[in-house]
């Protein structure tokens, strides 16, 4: 289990425990975190679970695969280093303490 902090665009923080094996998106969805729409349900077929990984965590999360890179082209105001689709990040103990900042909107 990992404690993950989701920071809304307005600065509101939500710290939740997310079980190993779930995705970071599922952790947000299951805990009612506003700002993660997850329209495709985690199929990497949209960009509505876009988030910015805190700079301290960029090197600690698994690398992006090609499909995620392609879908990020449709996300709002991406950052080449920090933008991720949260449906593509599996939760493990190694992600305990992960911090994500949510964009102003999802598209």
Domain 2-101, architecture per CATH? Roll (3.10)
pLDDT digits over 43-71, tens only?
999 999 999 999 999 999 999 999 999 99
pLDDT of residue 26: 98
What letters, b where the CB count within 10 A reaches 16 and e where it falls short, cover 89-101? bebeeebeebbbb
pLDDT of residue 71: 97
Overall pTM > 0.85 = yes
Residues 6+ apart with CB under 8 A from 39: 46, 48
List the domain boundaries for the chain: 2-101
pLDDT of residue 106: 97
């Amino acid at each position: 289990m990992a404690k993950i902090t989701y920071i809304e665009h307005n600065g509101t923080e939500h710290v939740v425990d997310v079980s190993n094996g779930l995705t970071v998106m599922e952790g947000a969805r299951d805990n009612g975190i506003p700002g993660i729409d997850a329209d495709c349900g985690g199929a990497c077929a949209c960009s509505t679970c876009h988030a910015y990984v805190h700079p301290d965590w960029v090197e600690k999360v698994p690398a992006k695969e090609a499909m995620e890179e392609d879908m990020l082209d449709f996300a709002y105001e991406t950052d080449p280093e920090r933008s991720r689709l949260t449906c593509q990040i599996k939760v493990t103990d190694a992600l305990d303490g992960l911090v994500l900042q949510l964009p102003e909107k999802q598209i």
